[in-house]
């Protein structure tokens, strides 16, 4: 099956849309082949502002209708306690909210951007999607991440080379309670490093202490900006260190 055939069988679809590579291409493809499409973006504490901005920009460029749903992920039972299967509870809450909105709008098919490169072996979030009967056309049509990037480039989508960006909650270790303050600190710290031109990094935190994970090729640049980075990040963290084990 290819995407055109999928949308021939499913002509009216709701699309869970994050503004990332996969959901952006899925939304574009749905607009090409389906008869009626509506995207649903969930604005929650786990997504930084730039993700919303990217999603709205992409939707505007391809002419997609987007309904923005504002929910608190931390109010979803089982999320803020941050257990090992936190993603399961989070997906249940977020996709449950999307399903409710989609059904209000008359849709009976909900899609997400899971692709054929995603490992379903031990991913609590994918278990939640299965339980909620969310379809994943990119995976069903055997499209890998590499293929999706290439197809996105050919379609003229600016998201084709967008770096992967896991939700802010992943910066907090399992078992440590997630708070709005910790998420805000992560967003501010990573936003600052982005502004200095750093790429492909994470600012992990543990009980108020930050650990920067950065490709070795950028360590020299980090050293050059050491003083200003410390000055900025210590607004949010007790200590700031570089993780030397991540190369």
Digit-coded pLDDT (tens) for 152-191: 999 999 999 998 888 999 999 999 999 999 999 999 999 9
Residue of 160, 140, 141, 139 whose CA lies nearest to 150: 160
pLDDT value of residue 206: 94
Alpha carbon separation from 104 to 26, 42, 97, 111, 192 (Å, rounded) = 22, 16, 11, 16, 40
What is the pLDDT at residue 64? Answer: 98
Q: For residue range 62-73, what is the model confidence (pLDDT) as tens digits?
A: 999 999 999 999
**Residue of 217, 221, 220, 210 whose CA lies nearest to 243:** 210
Cα angle for residues 244, 200, 80 (degrees, 5° grid)? 85
179-242 topology per CATH = Alpha-Beta Plaits (3.30.70)
pTM score, whole prediction: 0.92
Task: Indicate the CATH number of 3-161 among 1.10.10.10, 3.40.50.300, 3.40.50.720, 3.40.50.620.
Answer: 3.40.50.620
- pLDDT value of position 118: 82
Per-residue model confidence (pLDDT) at position 124: 80
The per-residue pLDDT for 121 is 57
Low pLDDT (below 50) residues in the chain: none
CA–chain centroid gap for 239, Å, is 27
Instruction: Tell me, letter by letter, the H, E, C secondary structure of the chain.
Output: CCHHHHHHHCCEEEEECCCCHHHHHHHHHHHHHCCEEEEEEEECCCCCHHHHHHHHHHHHHHCCCEEEEECCHHHCCCCCCCCCCHHHHHHHHHHHHHHHHHHHCCCCCEECCCCCCCCCCCCHHHHHHHHCCCECHHHHCCCCHHHHHHHHHHHCCHHHHCCCCCCHHHHCCCCCCCCHHHHHHHHHHHHHHHHCCCCCCEEEEECCEEEEECCHHHHHHHHHCHHHHHHHHCCCCCEEEECCCCC
The full set of domain ranges for the chain reads 3-161, 179-242
Torsion angles phi and psi, residue 203, rounded to 5: -110, 100
């Amino acid at each position: 099956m290819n995407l055109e055939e999928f949308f021939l069988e499913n002509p009216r679809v709701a699309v869970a849309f994050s503004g990332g590579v996969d959901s952006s291409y899925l939304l574009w493809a749905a607009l090409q082949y389906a008869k009626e499409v509506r995207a649903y973006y969930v604005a929650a504490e786990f997504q930084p502002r730039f993700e919303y901005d990217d999603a709205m920009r992409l939707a505007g460029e391809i002419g997609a209708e987007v309904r923005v749903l504002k929910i608190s992920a931390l109010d979803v039972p089982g999320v803020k306690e941050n257990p090992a299967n936190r993603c399961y509870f989070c997906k249940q809450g977020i996709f449950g909210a999307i399903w409710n909105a989609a059904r209000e709008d008359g849709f009976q098919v909900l899609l997400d951007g899971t692709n054929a490169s995603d490992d379903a072996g031990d991913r609590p979030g994918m278990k939640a999607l299965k339980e909620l009967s969310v379809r994943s056309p990119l995976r069903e049509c055997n499209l890998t991440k590499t293929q999706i990037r290439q197809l996105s480039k050919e379609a003229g989508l600016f998201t084709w080379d967008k770096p992967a960006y896991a939700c802010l909650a992943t910066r907090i270790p399992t078992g440590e309670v997630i708070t709005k303050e910790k998420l805000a600190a992560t967003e501010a710290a990573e936003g600052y490093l982005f502004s200095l031109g750093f790429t492909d990094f994470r600012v992990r935190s543990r009980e108020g202490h930050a650990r920067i994970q950065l490709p070795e090729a950028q360590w020299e640049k980090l050293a050059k900006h050491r003083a200003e980075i410390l000055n900025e990040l210590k607004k949010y963290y007790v200590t700031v260190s570089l993780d030397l084990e991540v190369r």
